[in-house]
Amino acid sequence: MRNRQVEQLVRLTQACLTRHWQLDCEYVLQYLDRDVIWIGSAAHQFVEGREAAAADLRRSMEEIQPCHLLHQAFLVAQNTGNACTIVGRYLTTTDDEVGYCLQAQQRCTVTWELGEAGPKIKCLHVSNPMGELKLAEGETFVNVLGQTTRKYIQDRLQGMARQDRIPVVEEGGNTCFLRPGEIVSVMAEGRSCVIHCLEGRTVRTRVGFSEFLHRVGPAFYRIHRSYAVNGTHLVCIRPYEVEMVDGSRIPIPVKRYRQVRDTLLASFPSGEEGTSPKAP
């Protein structure tokens, strides 16, 4: 497939996973091939054929809770002829309105095939790292607090505890005070930098790019000569860009993509006790 087609399938994979965890099962079902193979996390989720897969996915909608996806990373494992295989990993995190907090890592493999009817999923495999989730017999969605959830809560509490404001001199001479947690990304602009914050706020400063990164601390990652991002607000890593919580997309140099991806992934819990995160 052409690069443009592959990029579209990466985005479609992300959309299918996002819509599924928002309980929109029918969005995914429209892309299932007649002979699709569906493999899930539960012991019984190894089925063949669109009807059987659709029935199982619809059944799971009765048990799972609405979740959003964090720290998504997708790679193209195969691209040949009219077939393309995409692998990835991400953290499913319950939405605020659910009433409790659960976060778990998942991994996926999606094999697409382009035909006259458009892109179709030939194989869909979603699982969890071994030992991460303890599913009871017949259970689709776990309701216990996992190791990554504990780590997530600890990180959030530490972030809330750090309320130090950083004074920043703006272009006009005014001084504003910013919390590191409200900053999404920073862009170099000449000898100064532009700070992009939550809720669309932009601050143009007189502060140098390197100096500002030194002041905000290790939560910010320099993914490009002119860009740095706050890992807390990272939504997705894909070739060759990252997507932030405010919808912005920041480029990653092709030659540095693997290094940047591995650095970002290593900063988040892998879900596997005693091991370091590796590329899916």
Instruction: Say how far apart CA 211 and CA 153 lie, in whole Å.
Output: 30
From 119, 145, 171, give the residue that closes a domain. 145
From 86, 117, 145, give the residue that closes a domain. 145
Is residue 276 in a domain? no
Task: Tell me, yes or no, whether 176 and 121 share the same domain.
Answer: no
Task: Tell me, yes or no, whether 10 and 107 share the same domain.
Answer: yes
Q: Which domain holds residue 15?
A: 3-145
pLDDT of residue 163: 53
Task: Tell me, yes or no, whether 108 and 168 share the same domain.
Answer: no
Point out the least confidently predicted range of 42-56, 128-142, 247-261: 128-142
> Other C-beta atoms within 10 Å of 232: how many?
18
Task: Tell me, yes or no, whether 216 and 103 share the same domain.
Answer: no
Percentage of the chain beyond pLDDT 90 is 36
Task: Tell me, yes or no, whether 106 and 184 share the same domain.
Answer: no
What order of strands is seen across the sheet that includes strand 234-238?
46-48, 32-39, 118-127, 103-115, 83-94, 67-80, 234-238, 241-244, 249-251
From 115, 145, 175, give the residue that closes a domain. 145
Is the CB of residue 240 less than 8 Å from the CB of residue 252?
A: yes
Task: Tell me, yes or no, whether 179 and 137 share the same domain.
Answer: no
Percentage of the chain beyond pLDDT 70 is 82
Task: Tell me, yes or no, whether 28 and 128 share the same domain.
Answer: yes
Is residue 154 in a domain? no
pLDDT of residue 41: 81
With cut-offs at 50, 70 and 90, classify the pLDDT of residue 194.
very high
Domain count, the chain: 2
Is residue 279 in a domain? no
Rg of the chain over CA atoms, in angstroms? 21
Is residue 157 in a domain? no
pLDDT of residue 277: 33
Give the residue with greater pLDDT, 204 vs 164.
204
Task: Tell me, yes or no, whether 92 and 184 share the same domain.
Answer: no
Is residue 153 in a domain? no
pLDDT tens track for 206-253: 889 988 888 887 788 999 889 999 988 888 888 888 888 888 999 999
The mean pLDDT of the chain is: 82
Average pLDDT over residues 107-132: 88
Point out the least confidently predicted range of 14-28, 66-80, 142-156, 175-189: 142-156
Task: Tell me, yes or no, whether 225 and 169 share the same domain.
Answer: yes
Would you say residue 131 has pLDDT above 50?
no
Is residue 213 in a domain? yes
Task: Tell me, yes or no, whether 8 and 136 share the same domain.
Answer: yes
Report the CATH number that the domain containing residue 169 is assigned in CATH. 2.40.50.1020
Task: Tell me, yes or no, whether 120 and 174 share the same domain.
Answer: no
Task: Tell me, yes or no, whether 55 and 129 share the same domain.
Answer: yes
Is residue 273 in a domain? no
Report the CATH number that the domain containing residue 111 is assigned in CATH. 3.10.450.50
For the chain, the straight-line distance linking the first and the last C-alpha, in angstroms and rounded, comes to 22
Is residue 278 in a domain? no
pLDDT of residue 155: 61
pLDDT of residue 225: 87
pLDDT tens track for 143-191: 444 445 555 555 655 555 455 778 888 888 888 888 888 899 999 998 8
